[in-house]
């Protein structure tokens, strides 16, 4: 959308962020949305198309918007030549809707459909992606934002959704290696082209003097973004889909793969002014003010999500150590190496099938509070994600923590953090690092709540 189109747009469009190159998912008969998973050529690189895998033939993927406490029905149609599923990252939903093959549902085979239906209890910024052949399916583009709007509109003047992804592509659009053993053993294989909604350093138009909500979603396989900004007083209002009790100024914020960050700010009170967000010193996105000033002076306040309060006095503590696997990697029957570089409590995830479900890392009692002590005994970052629950980060041996709610905690080198949650959602829930090459080479397991 160019500046002239923006100025002609309605206020309803402003609430969607006036975003160039991004779509809302479309309804289907009997469903709120239909997602078609299929190959599609998309233009990301400067000199040629990329043979991506997409939702509804487009990248960025359609933004799904649901409403807190209201049911949403989504039909997924698989037109790939391989099975897939869809996981709704960060959403506290029933296990049958979690989208993990064999653990919670049968894979969606080529030509088949699967209908997801659930009622989001929490408002915030979430996302969706497959949980099969993850390096390739996510790496080639099957990643999208899922927004759950508050039960009552908080009253921002613009709501901008931004998916951050480094593409593994050359200038001509062809793919480079999505993974290599050398990099999977370390921090993961980096992409070459850093994009926001499939564009390099795009500029989005925002209302002059308006209250802006900027939603950042790290949909990358590998990269931890170091977010900072200038041009306005930027405030962190939510972390990983959960509003924080006391919004705080943005100085810098690390976002591992799978993590989200909502920033609020009052746009400059004059037209043609710029607010910029950076990854380290590299421009991610610019916002430019247009139109007459809305003269907002304060940001709307977001209500906290209804997260169960952990009973810390009666909690059971379980320790988890994330380490390298020093064993010799096994060779499959076809002669290919079955790389296993990472472990949780000295066990590497070896996959599962309809006939083989490994033992859980822990068995939890429904309704009971647990404290997980997470020890990263490596020199690399690990964003540790738990399905089906929202936990409270209590403290860390490396940084001062103001307790906050999340579904993914970023552990730095040799960092130990404690998290607490009420095991209130029965089922077998995946529990893994969200650096995709790490989970694919061992750093994954599940917990069982019963």
Give 16's pLDDT tier (boundaries 50, 70, 90).
Answer: very low
- Tens of pLDDT, residue by residue over 371-416, are 999 999 999 999 999 999 999 999 999 999 999 999 999 999 999 9
Residues 273 and 413 in one domain: no
Domain end among 260, 290, 320: 290
- Please check whether residue 140 lies inside any domain of the structure: yes
Contact 358, 352 (CB under 8 A): yes
Specify the 3-state DSSP secondary structure of 132.
coil
pLDDT (0 to 100) of residue 136: 98
Residues 378 and 283 in one domain: no
Reference 424, options 365, 371, 372; nearest CA is 365
Residues 96 and 235 in one domain: yes
pLDDT (0 to 100) of residue 340: 87
pLDDT (0 to 100) of residue 365: 98
Worst-scoring range by mean pLDDT, 5-14, 16-25, 424-433?
5-14
- Please check whether residue 436 lies inside any domain of the structure: yes
Residues 342 and 274 in one domain: no
Given a cut of 70, whether residue 147 has pLDDT beyond it is yes
State the average pLDDT over residues 239-253: 96
Residue matched to tokens 């996105």: 285
Given a cut of 50, whether residue 6 has pLDDT beyond it is no
Range of 184's domain? 3-290
pLDDT (0 to 100) of residue 378: 96
- Please check whether residue 386 lies inside any domain of the structure: yes
Residues 372 and 424 in one domain: yes
- Please check whether residue 279 lies inside any domain of the structure: yes
DSSP summary character for residue 280: T
Residues 143 and 39 in one domain: yes
DSSP summary character for residue 333: T
Residues 358 and 216 in one domain: no
**Pairwise CA distance, residues 435 & 438, whole Å:** 5
Domain end among 290, 325, 360: 290
Residues 195 and 89 in one domain: yes
Report DSSP letters for 216-248, one per residue. EEE--SSPPEEEEEESS--EEEEETTEEEEEEE
Count of structural domains within the chain: 2
**Pairwise CA distance, residues 270 & 192, whole Å:** 36
State the average pLDDT over residues 66-70: 97
Residues 318 and 277 in one domain: no
Residues 335 and 227 in one domain: no
Whether the pTM exceeds 0.85: the reply is yes
**Pairwise CA distance, residues 408 & 429, whole Å:** 14
Given a cut of 80, whether residue 309 has pLDDT beyond it is yes
- Please check whether residue 160 lies inside any domain of the structure: yes
CATH number at residue 256: 2.60.40.420
Residues 25 and 162 in one domain: yes
- Please check whether residue 299 lies inside any domain of the structure: no
Contact 404, 380 (CB under 8 A): no
- Please check whether residue 429 lies inside any domain of the structure: yes
Given a cut of 90, whether residue 333 has pLDDT beyond it is no
Helix residue spans in 382-441 (DSSP H): 436-440
Residues whose CB falls within 8 Å of the CB of residue 17, separated by 6 or more in sequence, listed in order: 158, 159, 160, 161, 204
């Amino acid at each position: 959308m160019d500046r002239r189109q923006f100025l002609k747009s309605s206020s309803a469009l402003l609430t969607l962020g006036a975003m160039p190159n991004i779509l809302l998912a479309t309804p289907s008969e009997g469903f709120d949305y239909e997602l078609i998973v299929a190959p599609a050529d998309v233009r990301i690189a400067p000199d040629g198309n990329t043979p991506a895998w997409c939702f509804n033939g487009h990248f960025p993927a359609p933004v799904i918007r649901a409403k807190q406490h209201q049911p949403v029905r989504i039909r997924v149609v698989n037109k790939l030549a391989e099975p897939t599923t869809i996981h709704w990252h960060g959403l506290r939903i029933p296990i049958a809707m979690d989208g993990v093959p064999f653990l919670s549902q049968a894979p969606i085979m080529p030509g088949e459909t699967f209908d997801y239906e659930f009622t989001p209890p929490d408002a915030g910024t979430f996302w969706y992606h497959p949980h099969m052949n993850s390096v390739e399916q996510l790496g080639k583009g099957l990643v999208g934002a899922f927004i759950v709007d508050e039960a009552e509109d908080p009253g921002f003047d613009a709501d901008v959704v931004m998916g951050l992804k480094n593409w593994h592509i050359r200038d001509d659009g062809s793919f480079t290696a999505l993974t290599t053993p050398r990099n999977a053993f370390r921090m993961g294989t980096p992409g070459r082209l850093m994009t926001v909604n499939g564009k390099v350093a795009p500029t989005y138009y925002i209302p002059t003097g308006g209250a802006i909500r900027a939603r950042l979603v790290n949909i990358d396989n590998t990269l931890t973004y170091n977010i900072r900004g200038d041009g306005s007083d930027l405030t962190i209002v939510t972390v990983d889909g959960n509003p924080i009790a006391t919004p705080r100024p943005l100085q810098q914020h690390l976002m591992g793969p799978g993590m989200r960050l909502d920033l609020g700010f009052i746009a400059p009170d004059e037209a043609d002014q710029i607010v910029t967000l950076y990854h380290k010193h590299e421009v991610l996105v610019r916002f430019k003010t247009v139109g007459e000033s809305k003269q907002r002076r304060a940001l709307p306040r977001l209500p906290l999500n209804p997260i169960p309060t952990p009973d810390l006095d009666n909690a059971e503590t379980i320790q988890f150590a994330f380490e390298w696997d020093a064993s010799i990697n096994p060779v499959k029957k076809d002669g290919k190496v079955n790389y296993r570089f990472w472990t949780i409590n000295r066990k590497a995830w070896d996959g599962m099938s309809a006939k083989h479900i490994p033992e859980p890392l822990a068995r939890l009692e429904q309704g009971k509070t647990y404290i997980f002590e997470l020890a990263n005994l490596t020199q690399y970052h690990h964003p540790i994600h738990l399905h089906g629950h929202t936990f409270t980060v209590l403290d860390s041996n490396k940084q001062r923590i103001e307790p906050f709610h999340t579904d993914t905690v970023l552990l730095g080198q040799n960092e130990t953090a404690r998290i607490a949650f009420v095991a209130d959602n029965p089922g077998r829930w995946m529990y893994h690092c969200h650096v995709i090459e790490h989970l694919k080479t061992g750093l994954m397991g599940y917990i069982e709540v019963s």
